[in-house]
Amino acid sequence: MLHELFHPDSHDRTAAALLGSDGSQAGGGLLEAARNRLADAEARLQRYQAAIAADVEPEALVDPINQAQTERAAAKAQIKSVPANTTVSRAEIYARIDALGDVCGTLADATTAGMSRLYRALNLELRYEQKSWLSMQRPARV
């Protein structure tokens, strides 16, 4: 799997997947979506105000106005909840992939030093849990 993700021919696909996968990437997809919902809600509120100014019965617009105000408040809250420094650009992702070096070569060689360097670079941890020989035995059939 790592071999496929970090193969030089896959860098574009890997970078695109990383950009769209992370909650911290809200600066990309999620933040943009919240901004679009905010703009849409505010535009609807302006249209409703213009309709009232054009003598549309205000009572007929109470529910749509309440809905737009609720959506505007939710979008503003989502925008506020995104920390400013969490966005990662496409260029930063490519730089991080390049900083890993030849992942495919490291995996193919599978030397202890190379794998250790790769695991540290990827921030992976390997945990060995020894199981006793008895716990691995199949239950006896009766």
What stretches of 10-131 show up as alpha helix (H) in DSSP?
11-21, 29-53, 62-81, 90-99, 103-109, 112-122
Instruction: Name the more confident of 9 and 25.
Output: 9
This model's pTM is above 0.85: no
Q: Percent of the chain, pLDDT > 70?
A: 80
- What confidence tens digit (pLDDT) does each residue in 96-133 have? 888 888 888 888 888 888 888 888 887 777 777 777 66
Contacts of residue 111, Cβ cutoff 8 Å, sequence gap at least 6: none
d(Cα 47, Cα 49) in Å, to the nearest integer?
Answer: 5
